[in-house]
Structure 1
Amino acid sequence: MKPLRKPPALKKGDLIGVVAPAGVVKAEDLGNGVRRLEEMGFRVALGRSLYQSARYLAGRDEERAADLAEMFANPEVKAVVAARGGYGTSRVIPLLDAKALARSPKIFVGSSDLTLLLHFLRSACHLVTFHGPMVSPNFGKYSSPTTNGEFVRILGATTPPGPIDVTGVKVLKGGSGEGILTGGCLSLVCQTIGTPYEIQTEDAILFLEDINEPPYRIDRMLTYLKQVGKFEGVRAVVFGLMPDCHPSPQELYTLEDVIRDVLADLPCPILYDFPSGHGGTNVTLPFGVRAAVEGATLSILEAPVS
């Protein structure tokens, strides 16, 4: 694979473009998120079709793809942040011109359904991408100091950011590991398999998270990734908060038990409850740069932006 390009750093006063490649956007949450970004010192430009709807999608596929292409082509826009997840990113990707996007390397931030776009931009455009907060849910509805602070710190880091200072991370299996940080929403990571933008996990620190998936589905998806070889060569696995993925109180096991069971033979550390993705806090993680796990700490060893 070609070396990845690092987009220019984001600074206070820069213009952030907001697009909705997936689900329908709620105006109130989006408005609150835009105001939060402005309070953080950024200017905001909204995609032309941001408030459109077509069934469960934020407008027609062509409209959503055009918004994304326009933001990448606009030299004043320094970062593009997804409005929300939901569903629909996979329908947009075939309409994107990878060469045109690659000519204007810039920060792209998203999570959940945008996991697919993160991997497309990495594989087809050779860009470092950013798994992190989206405007409506993470800056609008569930804004937190950690989400906001790490967004600014990571996207402005022209030197290695180092340890990510968060609390509550559990060690399911101890040890240390170093590799390229990648991953995303577990169900969407599985969806990349067999596509041109299939996730690459050799020599990886693999981050996985999801929401509203019962334990047997988490088991099924992890087992699937294991059987197609996606845990071979992984240096560490880091799980997110996994809201609404836990067994009922009547059950005599935990989601941690399921993960330990499926991944029992992995010779690498496994962390759990790292606050990125779905949940109250969504820490920005740069995909495509070197990172390390030591104890309960995830560190970014390489500058993610230029």
Structure 2
Amino acid sequence: MITPSYPPKPSPGDRIAVLSPGAGLPGLFPVPHELGLERLREEFGLEPVEYPATRKMGATPQERADDIHAAFADPDIKAVIASIGGDDQITVLPLLDRELIRANPKPFFGMSDNTNLLAFLYSTGIVGYHGATVMVQLGRPVAMDPLTAESLRAALFASGPYELRPAERWNDINRDWAEPATFASEPETRPGTGWIWHNADRVAEGRGWGGCLEILAGLLMADREVSHDLSVYDGGVLFLETSEEMPSGTEVFRTLRSMGERGLLQRFSALLMGRAKTWSFEQPNSAADAARYAVEQREAVLSALGIYAPDTLTVLDVDFGHTDPQLVLPYGGTIRVDGPERRITVTY
């Protein structure tokens, strides 16, 4: 395992690749995609460059791998961002040219199914960025959430420490991208509830690793991009979050239990657990059911830790992952969790 290092950052005016390593959903829902591209240009001063599979639903793994290779190999492209997640990005990983990508390191931004590529970059020696897809965060109706925009701007252009802040208001209920009315008003939000701290009597600092729990479980089952030498994760900061698939508390516990049985869970000095997504089109929970689901997930996480890593410094309901606003986390970069001061600081 190679120690991940930070790739050079872009500057305003640079070209940034927009790829769909997971699913070509921009082809089905052009409105949020075009809105995200516009914000990259007007609010961040970057010039987005699309590739052949960016808007192609059903693109083969090889077509998506070709886009990744082309973006990383092009010296005029200074960063890469995913349009959205997907479902089968794991099938792209065996087709990637690790040496080509290692020789041309660039910041990559993505989440959800893009956990696959982030884990690949980590094991290749490149720090990536968990968060900020074009269609979801950049394409948010009316305006980006200010907390998301501030975090993304720092991750894109800055290199020093950045202190994360709990959201004052948040949302996890989606609206239909096919309906024009969706983009006529901002999403409704509710008051923030802050972060929940456990074993907060110490400071932990290490390289971030993890991502979307469902995708990480797939990587573990396929034995891809997880080092067999578990000592490479010693002292790191594990960060996990769940998607709109909304796995049950039992499923979350079982995944963490398997990580514990493998000897992986106990390697980390701290765990950040993202605020659970509690609503989906398939399961439109009431407020009471959503709250109950969130409690069940917290209890599942703490139960698994109690068995395998009871002393781990843990922060629950952190604002990253499938939530709005969304904080960007450096995947392979430094994360500092200060329990006594109740502060989380990342190095972008």
Normalising by the residue count of structure 2, what TM-score does the alignment of the two structures yield?
Answer: 0.79
Give the counterpart of 2:200 among 171, 174, 197.
Answer: 174
Q: 1:177 aligns to what SS in structure 2?
A: strand
> Contact 1:130 / 1:285 at 8 angstroms: preserved in 2?
yes
In 2, Cα distance between equivalents of 1:272 and 1:196: 27
In 1, Cα distance between equivalents of 2:261 and 2:46: 44
Give the counterpart of 1:195 among 220, 223, 230.
Answer: 223
Q: Which amino acid aligns with 1:232?
A: Q
In 2, Cα distance between equivalents of 1:197 and 1:16: 25
Tell me what 1:127 maps to. Answer: 126
Tell me what 1:216 maps to. Answer: 250
In 1, Cα distance between equivalents of 2:151 and 2:289: 33
> Contact 1:133 / 1:277 at 8 angstroms: preserved in 2?
no
Mapping of 1:30-45 within 5 angstroms?
30-40=33-43, 41-45=45-49
Give the counterpart of 2:51 among 42, 47, 52.
Answer: 47
RMSD of aligned C-alpha atoms?
2.2
Worse-superposed segment, 259-268 or 207-216: 259-268
> Deviation string for 1:7-49 (max 9, x for gaps)?
1112222211100011231212211111111122211111122
The structure with the greater share of residues assigned to helix is: 2
Alpha carbons of structure 1 residues 98 and 249: separation in structure 2 relative to 1, 3 Å: closer
Tell me what 2:62 maps to. Answer: 62
- When the two structures are aligned, how many residues end up with a matched partner? 296
Tell me what 1:184 maps to. Answer: 211
Alpha carbons of structure 1 residues 250 and 103: separation in structure 2 relative to 1, 3 Å: closer
Shift of 1:85: 0.5
Give the counterpart of 1:278 among 322, 325, 328.
Answer: 322
* Unmatched segments (≥5 aa) in structure 1: none
> Deviation string for 1:170-227 (max 9, x for gaps)?
2144233122111100111222225341165321111000121121111111111111
In 1, Cα distance between equivalents of 2:38 and 2:7: 25
> Contact 1:213 / 1:244 at 8 angstroms: preserved in 2?
no
Tell me what 2:238 maps to. Answer: 206
Tell me what 2:149 maps to. Answer: 148
In 2, Cα distance between equivalents of 1:235 and 1:187: 22
Q: 1:239 aligns to what SS in structure 2?
A: strand
Alpha carbons of structure 1 residues 119 and 251: separation in structure 2 relative to 1, 3 Å: closer
Give the counterpart of 2:297 among 243, 255, 273.
Answer: 255
In 2, Cα distance between equivalents of 1:198 and 1:271: 23
Mapping of 1:260-271 within 5 angstroms?
260-264=302-306, 265-271=309-315
> Contact 1:85 / 1:113 at 8 angstroms: preserved in 2?
yes
Tell me what 2:177 maps to. Answer: none
In 2, Cα distance between equivalents of 1:113 and 1:209: 12
> Contact 1:182 / 1:287 at 8 angstroms: preserved in 2?
yes
Tell me what 1:292 maps to. Answer: 336
Alpha carbons of structure 1 residues 251 and 128: separation in structure 2 relative to 1, 3 Å: closer
* Unmatched segments (≥5 aa) in structure 2: 168-193, 280-284
> Contact 2:199 / 2:311 at 8 angstroms: preserved in 1?
no
> Contact 1:7 / 1:107 at 8 angstroms: preserved in 2?
yes
> Contact 1:131 / 1:286 at 8 angstroms: preserved in 2?
yes
Q: Which amino acid aligns with 1:203?
A: G
Identity %: 26
Normalising by the residue count of structure 1, what TM-score does the alignment of the two structures yield?
Answer: 0.89
In 2, Cα distance between equivalents of 1:251 and 1:69: 44
Alpha carbons of structure 1 residues 69 and 234: separation in structure 2 relative to 1, 3 Å: same
